[in-house]
Amino acid sequence: MAETINAFKFSDKALVEIQRYISHYPEGRQKSALLPALHVAQAENNGWVSPEAMDAIAEILNIQPIEVYEVATFYTMFNLKPVGKHVLEVCRTGPCCLRGADQMIETLKQKLNIEEGETTADGMFTLKPVECLASCGTGPMLQVRETYYENIDSEEAVDQFLEMMRNKEVETPEWAK
């Protein structure tokens, strides 16, 4: 039976996965499962973590909601508002900018008709500049979920990337299969 907490409902599989993470830590240290629980919530909620999901995590982990909010708002890997099917996390730090990240961001904005932090009207893409993704030698680059796309250094490369992503399905996490 799935659990409903504050209007956010985890699937049975998600609850099992969170309990599996909790079991990795000693009794009374369930807060250590907070990061993976946030990832599970984000996967369950179309790519973002709502306040209701954070409240549900707090209840499951027996911690205060503010403890979840502090962590979720600290890390850029957690989306705190609805996002598109594909979140384009573009590295905007020095090495990538020297290799053309600013131009790539401008090209993406123009081609997608959105600004940074926005989602396309069709719900396909969200453009999210982020700090270093540790791929300095292959910039400009961006990340979509766990996959890096590197050397996107021309308008043609942006076009090819966007076409590929339009035809790509979002992968289901292994625990949810």
Please state the residue numbers annotated as binding site for [2Fe-2S] cluster.
91, 96, 132, 136
> Which residue ranges are tagged as binding site?
91, 96, 132, 136
Is the distance from CB of 90 to CB of 101 less than 8 angstroms?
Answer: yes
Structure tokens that stand for 102 in this block: 């600013």
Is 99 in a helix, a strand, or coil?
A: coil
Give CA–CA dist 38/150, Å, rounded: 27
In degrees rounded to 5, what are phi and psi of residue 69?
A: -60, -40
Parallel/antiparallel/unpaired status of strands 3-5 and 142-144: unpaired
In degrees rounded to 5, what are phi and psi of residue 37?
A: -65, -40
Residue 19: CB atoms within 10 Å:
13
